[in-house]
Amino acid sequence: MAFALQNSQLLVTKGLINGQWVDADDSTTVPVHNPANGELVAEVVNMGGAETKRAIEAAEAAFPAWSGKSSKERSDILEKWFDLVMANQDDLAAILTAEQGKPLFEAKGEIAYGASYIKWFAEEARRVYGDIIPAAQKDRRNLVIKQPVGVVAAITPWNFPNAMLARKIAPALAAGCTIVCKPAIETPISALAIAKLAEEAGVPAGVINIIPGADAPAIGGEMTSNPVVKKLTFTGSTPVGKLLMKQCADTVKRTSMELGGNAPIIIFDDADLDAAINGALISKFRNSGQTCICSNRVMVQAGIYDEFIERLAAEVSKFNVGNGLEEGTTHGPLITEKAVNNVAGLVDSAIADGARAVIGGARGDAAGFFFQPTILADAKPSMRVFKEEIFGPVAPVFKFETDEEAVAMANDTEFGLAAYMYTNNLKRIWHVSEALEYGMVGVNETAISSEVIPFGGVKESGQGREGSKYGLEDYMETKLICLGGL
């Protein structure tokens, strides 16, 4: 099924450098396909290191004028961008679903979610406060001011092609930085479409540059080695994040890393089971399991283990898996065949090690990249599904007896992004929340993301925070001005 746009100008396939929509230097393109059926969505420019270098130079040239604007001027432009994104929500969602696969209602939600960061940082742009620190000497005054870090490079993933980009560009621009972005090659069109709207909103040439390209080492290599770039912000896998951090070390760049997760959702036997099942469904199967904060390990206390699995399976059996562009689809495909193979490998290995597929357990029948929504009972911590990020619609359910055992199991991972628990015991809420080694803990709630919260992880899930008042800090330097001889 093809898709039609009300505003066909949004289907941009060229890169954006210094306010110009341009082809790749070697005129090559990369096809973008709908993962639900393999249909060609568009051919998009395939840029590399040379174009990235020019984009960085453009961002450097644009920096003085952009950072020199008043915070109100920058805020007004961001507000206008927000209005345009929301006015084009349906078209942006159609593009997103066509290239990424998630159902239209979920894509519309993502557009609003991404836009919420633009609005939030338009507001926060005007609240960048400094400090006055009492001096140790009578004749001095210490002032602390905040300044934009400079040129930022951003590398964003395919699972949220709109929102992850918006949540990096908006704080960068609000702080007064300029930016060069490399969207995921599977989903570059969503990025180009919002850049088009940013241009319409009045973002000057060179302030936002978009470099789509398949040669990630060439683009990432230029971003991480170019001394003009002062900060790299990345959302993606932990191995790639580690590599980028190493590459950034030579020029001592700041980094923000939003990396992999292995979220536990702990259901205690005193939980409201309806709420827990609903929370598990939302957090496990959102975007067909392809988010960093999806519940990866469902941990259920022994007394309610069987009932929980039976009721969860009954809900999962109601899913309507299919092409996200079709009415009634509740869950879409995975992004690539490689992703399906990876999920299939994890499920097969769990079953070989003694897990039982209560529902699902195999690839989908349709032509696209589908895997059946799956629940695995009798999952054990020795299995790969306990240790690895599944990134697919598979819920392995682990049994535990005590609070101590639950916390130890939850923390038994190198990751530390999000964790969830369901319980009505206030004492347990405090103790377990404090004991969980995670950047975000959802208590009786799994839909924790929003522009107002600090999104980010600990351990090998990354560093830095996105969204909230903390999200702007990551794009600013703290400078001391010490006035002496007063």
- Which residues are at the interface with ligand SIN (CB under 6 A)? 159-160, 235, 258, 291-293, 449, 455
Q: Which is nearer to ligand SIN, 13 or 446 (CB)?
A: 446
Distance CA 8, CA 246 (A): 41
Q: Which is nearer to ligand SIN, 52 or 449 (CB)?
A: 449
Neighbours of 478 (CB within 10 A): 11
* Shortest CB 184 distance to ligand SIN, Å: 12
Nearest residue (beta carbon) to ligand SIN:
449
Three-state SS string over 20-39 comes to EEECCCCCCEEEEECCCCCC
Residue 292 annotated among the catalytic residues of the structure: yes
- In a 3-state reduction of DSSP, which class is residue 399? strand
DSSP state letter for 264:
E
* Shortest CB 157 distance to ligand SIN, Å: 7
Q: Which of 258, 389, 451, 460 is catalytic?
A: 258
Measured over the CA atoms of residue 443, residue 449, residue 451 and residue 453, the dihedral's sign is positive
Amino acid at 170: A
Q: Which is nearer to ligand SIN, 82 or 160 (CB)?
A: 160
Classify residue 381 as exposed, middle or buried by CB count within 10 Å of its CB (0-12, 13-18, 19+): middle
**What phi, psi does 408 have (nearest 5°)?**
-65, -40
* Shortest CB 183 distance to ligand SIN, Å: 14
Distance CA 311, CA 86 (A): 37
Q: Which of 248, 292, 294, 466 is catalytic?
A: 292
DSSP state letter for 204:
P
Please give the angle made by the CA atoms of 186, 52 and 179, to the nearest 5 degrees: 85
Neighbours of 215 (CB within 10 A): 16
Structure tokens at 71: 């915070």
Give the pairing of strands 141-148 and 374-379: unpaired
* Shortest CB 467 distance to ligand SIN, Å: 8
* Shortest CB 259 distance to ligand SIN, Å: 9
Q: Which is nearer to ligand SIN, 63 or 160 (CB)?
A: 160
Q: Which is nearer to ligand SIN, 160 or 415 (CB)?
A: 160
**What phi, psi does 418 have (nearest 5°)?**
-125, 150
* Shortest CB 464 distance to ligand SIN, Å: 13
Q: Which is nearer to ligand SIN, 293 or 410 (CB)?
A: 293
Catalytic residues: 258, 292
